[in-house]
Chain A
Amino acid sequence: MELQANMISLNQDVATRDQAIRMAGQLLVDAGCVEKEYIDSMIARNNDVSTYMGNFIAIPHGTDEGKQYIKKTGISVVQIPMGVDFSGENDSEQLVTVVFGIAGLGNEHLNLLSQIALYCSDVSNVAKLADAQTPQEIINLLKEVGK
C-alpha cells in the first residue's frame, strides 16, 4: 500500500495530543478506512500505552477491540511543525511533529510502516517530513526508503 495525498494534513497547530490523535483519526474516517468509533479507541490506546515512538514521531492506532471498526487498511499523516507534547501528565516532554494515524487489517500496512520506521530512525529525516510543504513531498520522501 502507499500513502494517499488526501490523507496527509500539513501545517497543523494543535494544543494537546488528543487533538492530534483525533485529527489523524478523522483523516482515516474521511477516507473511509474506519468508523468514527475507532478514534475513541485510538485515544484509549494512547492513554493506556503511549504511541510516542521517539524521534518526534507518534503512531496512534486503536486497541485490539478497536479493530472491529476498521473497514480497510490506511495510514494518515498529520504534520505539526510547532510540535505537540505526547507525554503523560508527569513525564518529561515528548514532542511530536509528525503523527501517523494507523488502521491496520491483517498485514497490509506493515510494509509501509516498516519503511516509515526505517526512514524515521534518522532524526534528520523526520525533520524533512516535518518541514515538507506539500503532501507529495512526504510521499516521495518515504518512497526513497524502499529503494
Chain B
Amino acid sequence: MSVSDADLIARVLAREDHHAFAELVRRYQSPVRAFLTRMTRGDAHLGDDLAQETFLKAWRKLHTYRGTAPFSTWLFGIAFNEFRSVARQRKELALDDVDKEPAEAPPPAADPQSGLRLDLTEALKRLHSNERAAVLLCCQNGLSHEEAARALDCPLGTVKTNVLRGKQKLKRWLQGYQHYESA
C-alpha cells in the first residue's frame, strides 16, 4: 500500500526526510514538468529548470501547505508562479503578445497518425498564457475550476472564462485544420 501525500509531507516536516520528499517528487514530476513545458511553449529544458525550481520552493515552503487543497494543486500554483516570474523577464514568453489568433489554421503535420496531436500542441502554444494554464490544469490535469482558481490565484469566474475561451479558440483553429486536411 502506498503512503499518502499527507504522511509523506508530515515526515518531511518532522525530520527533513529526503526519501519522503523524493517520493513526492517522483509522484508529481511528470504532471508538473509537462505543465511547465507546455507553458513555455514546448521548451523542455526551460520547463525542467522551472520544475526543479518548483520542487525546491515546495521544499522550502512546505510548512505553509495547509492541506486544504490537494498537494498537486499547491504544486501547480508554485509552478505557475515560477513560469510567471520567468515570463516577465523573457520576451519570447511575454504574456500579452500571444493573444493573436492565427490568420489561418496551423499547418498539418507530416505524419497523418500524429497530425491532430501535433496540431493541438501547436494550437495550445498560440493561446494566451492565462488561458493555456487554465485549459491545461482543468482539461488535461483534471483539476476542478475551484482548484485551478486556487492554483492560478485568480477568481473562479476568470478561470471558467479562460477555460471556455481557450477551448473555443482551440476548436476554431482545429476545425480550420480539419478542413485543410479533408480538402
| A and B bind | no
Write the residues of chain B forming the contact surface with A, with a CB cutoff of 8 angstroms.
none
